[in-house]
Amino acid sequence: MKTIFALTVVCLLAVSSAMAAEPVTLSYQGSLLLSTGQPVPDGSYDMRFRIFDAAVGGAQLWAETDAAVETTGGLFATILGDTSSFAAILNTGASLWLEVSVDLGGNGAFEAPEVYLPRQPVVGAPSAVDAHKLNGLVAAEYQRRVTGTAPAGSFLTGINADGTVVTALDQNSGGDITGVTAGAGLTGGGASGDVALAADPTYLQRRVTGAAPAGSFLTGINADGTVVTALDQNSGGDITAVTAGAGLTGGGASGAVALAVAPGVYVQRAGDTMTGILTVNPSGTGTHIDVGVGDIIGISELKFAPNTPLPNFHLGNRIVFGTPHTCYLSIGYEELVRQDETRPEVAIRSWLNGWTYVGGVPGDPPALELQAGVHLPSGAVVTDFRCWVKDDDTDGSIVCRLSRHPKESGGYQDMAVANTTFLDANANVRELVDSAITNSTIQNSAYIYMVRVSLNPSVADNRVAICSFLITYEMAEVHW
């Protein structure tokens, strides 16, 4: 344990009011010794000062930390209260105890061995720092009772500290007005004494307070602000009725007539419900349809007339059809690509009526697969898949598939399969149909879609051909 010996505790603030300026501070000096009795090494130390209401334990009333206090031969000096005021606790009359801690280790913390004990009582001059005050105020802050008065014909110009007053004589105002004459619209006036002016009611109009009732109009205004009215007469206008035309409701032949846009006929900017066909026609400067961020709901069909300027067409979020809207996607044979380029013995030719497979070697030639990507809008529901094929003899088969493939991993998943075997030898075109669609809802975020066709002539030199595909799907709404 370390001990501290206070050499002196001096209150630099005496009772005199001349030294009573805030904040209150105390000069504190002392000697720091180690437990061996030797002075601490010379240097700068952080010191913490705390005041308690008891010698041991008790409540902390004040605290302040002084950084880098110079110490020579164990002696130090510092000022208390310059960063944390303790004026409020020095005039309470309570017993105060000062505890001192020194960060000898220089680690920024005041550890138990660095607390110098016992605490020191705070006595003497600090208890008198407010003795020069009355109710907390110094003498200069009080005014002696005012005893003087200004005599007749004089007025106060100041009050002295001892309560006497300073006065001065009244002076003539120096004004040049010797009379007041009432001009137009006024009455009164005079050349002496109290002069009064008033409004002339024969010249001035009182504020108008009356109003014409419904079906009447003003014909005059009285001097007191009331009004004279008369009933309205026929205006003589030629309009005798208003008829609501196409797209409007309301109208009438008498009374207050109102017109409004018919609901379900026009699309409002904030979104609306309508029925029928929405047709966009071009104009001389281009049609501009803008419904903000709303939806168009309930239409059965959306049409664009020829040359409609689509860049000026803004439909917010979506179009919702009143009933599912049937759409079609046609895929021609020319969009198909060959999947196996490693078989030189397999011949494939593009005729005017489709891709034709020709077996290149005798025996059982391998089947050839062709594919084409399919692009359908998300949310579309596929209802029908069909294709058109032909063969020039009675041998061979064709299998047409609508498939999807996961984007991440996995294999083909068939949604529809249309096939035939041993087609007519007269090479007639045959339609293959599959309306039992599985996984019919399009999910572009998770899958890619394609049509696949497998051509197998069964024997060499036989020919089978694929002409085209048609996919039927429904849309309940269109997202933009």
Name which of 27-36, 159-168, 335-344 the model is least confident about. 335-344
Q: Could you tell me if 341 and 472 lie in one domain?
A: yes
Final residue before a domain boundary, out of 286, 316, 346: 316
- List, for residues 127-150, the tens digit of each pLDDT value: 444 555 565 566 667 778 888 888
Distance (Å, rounded) from C-alpha 389 to C-alpha 428? 8
- List, for residues 29-85, the tens digit of each pLDDT value: 888 888 888 999 999 999 999 999 999 999 999 999 998 899 999 899 999 988 888
Return the residue matching tokens 């009064």.
196
Compute the radius of gyration of the chain from its Cα atoms: 54
Please count the structural domains in the chain: 3
Q: Could you tell me if 33 and 59 lie in one domain?
A: yes
Residue 364: pLDDT band (50, 70, 90) is very low
**Is 470's pLDDT higher than 70?**
yes
**Is 161's pLDDT higher than 60?**
yes
Is 164 within a domain?
no
Q: Could you tell me if 310 and 445 lie in one domain?
A: no
Final residue before a domain boundary, out of 111, 128, 145: 128
Q: Could you tell me if 311 and 431 lie in one domain?
A: no
How does 290-305 read in b/e, with b if 16+ C-beta sit within 10 Å? Answer: ebeebbbbbbeeeeee
Average pLDDT over residues 462-477: 81
**Is 118's pLDDT higher than 50?**
yes
DSSP H or E run through 87: helix 87-90
pLDDT > 70 in the chain, percent: 65
* pLDDT of the residue at 307: 53
**Is 472's pLDDT higher than 90?**
yes
Residues 6+ apart with CB under 8 A from 18: none
Average pLDDT over residues 309-324: 51
- List, for residues 177-234, the tens digit of each pLDDT value: 778 898 887 888 888 878 888 888 778 777 888 888 887 888 888 878 888 888 877 6
**What pairing do the DSSP bridges indicate for beta strands 347-351 and 354-358?**
antiparallel
Strands (E), 161-282: 165-169, 180-181, 186-190, 197-199, 216-221, 227-231, 242-243, 248-252, 259-261, 272-273, 277-280
pLDDT top residue among 442 and 188: 442
Span between the terminal Cα atoms of the chain, in Å: 82
Average pLDDT over residues 381-404: 84
Distance (Å, rounded) from C-alpha 111 to C-alpha 108? 9
Average pLDDT over residues 385-399: 77
Q: Could you tell me if 309 and 396 lie in one domain?
A: no
Is 359 within a domain?
yes
**Is 266's pLDDT higher than 90?**
no
Is 239 within a domain?
no
**What pairing do the DSSP bridges indicate for beta strands 397-406 and 197-199?**
unpaired
Is 103 within a domain?
yes
Cis before residue 118, ω within 30 degrees of 0? yes
Identify which of 285-289, 440-444, 459-463 has the greatest average pLDDT: 440-444
Q: Could you tell me if 445 and 336 lie in one domain?
A: yes
C-alpha distances (whole Å) from 188 to each of 150, 199, 202 are 37, 9, 14
Q: Is 138 within 8 Å of 17 (Cβ atoms)?
A: yes
Domain region containing 471: 329-479
Residues 6+ apart with CB under 8 A from 362: 459, 460
Is 224 within a domain?
no
Residue 394: pLDDT band (50, 70, 90) is low
Provide the edge-to-edge strand list for the sheet that holds 197-199. 180-181, 186-190, 197-199
Is 134 within a domain?
no
**Average pLDDT over all residues of the chain:** 74
How does 61-88 read in b/e, with b if 16+ C-beta sit within 10 Å? Answer: bbebebeebebeebebebebbeeeebbe
Distance (Å, rounded) from C-alpha 426 to C-alpha 429? 9
Residues 6+ apart with CB under 8 A from 379: 441, 442, 475, 476, 477, 479
Q: Could you tell me if 355 and 290 lie in one domain?
A: no
Q: Could you tell me if 337 and 380 lie in one domain?
A: yes
Residue 88: pLDDT band (50, 70, 90) is confident
* pLDDT of the residue at 437: 94
Sign of dihedral through CA atoms 181, 186, 189, 194? negative
Residue 303: pLDDT band (50, 70, 90) is low
pLDDT > 90 in the chain, percent: 20
**Is 347's pLDDT higher than 50?**
no
What CATH number does the domain containing 342 carry? 2.60.120.260
Q: Could you tell me if 343 and 464 lie in one domain?
A: yes
* pLDDT of the residue at 94: 81
Q: Is 2 within 8 Å of 33 (Cβ atoms)?
A: yes
Q: Could you tell me if 362 and 292 lie in one domain?
A: no
* pLDDT of the residue at 463: 66
**Is 286's pLDDT higher than 60?**
no
Final residue before a domain boundary, out of 97, 128, 159: 128
Is 163 within a domain?
no
